[in-house]
Amino acid sequence: MSVNEGNELVGEVELAPAFHDCDPMNVVWHGNYFKYFEIARCALLKRYDYDYPQMLESGYLWPVVDARVKYVRPLLFGQALRVRSRIVEWENRLKIEYEILDAESGQVLTRAMTIQVAVDAASKEMLYQCPPVLWQRLGVPAP
């Protein structure tokens, strides 16, 4: 299921890369981008009261099963950034797209996406449809 234009499920966080996230050239090491996506994903899910503690309380685990990133321009030490996250699928999987933007210019620096699936916490069985609790929390119609 896709987000309709008038009711997008979008969040945004601001951050600046710390020195310990960077390589000797003061460029953010490529693996640390995923930390920024995680910060944005948690902030977005928290808006809907369905961050990781609430997911577990509802009886589900949500592992990331696919992640892709396109490094457009480097992120630099201390650079003011905006990390935008947007839920674009929620019927059979939870797909979130990300953009990292320069906070001053708005220029897109990175694009990415993650896919998570619902897993029953008790049985450890993967579900082939997202549980109704996700749709309820997001305020979207059930399929």
CATH architecture of structural domain 8-136: Roll (3.10)
Q: Residue 43 has what pLDDT?
A: 96
Domain ranges of the chain: 8-136
Q: Residue 1 has what pLDDT?
A: 33
Find the helix or strand (DSSP H, E) in which 53 lies: helix 52-57
Q: Residue 140 has what pLDDT?
A: 93
pTM (2 d.p.): 0.92
Q: Which candidate, 37, 36, 38, 1, places its Cα nearest to that of 135? A: 1
Report the alpha-carbon distance of residue 33 to residue 76 in Å, rounded: 11
Q: Residue 142 has what pLDDT?
A: 83
Weakly modelled stretches of the chain, pLDDT under 50: 1-5
> Which tens digits make up the pLDDT trace of 33-59?
999 999 999 999 999 999 999 999 999
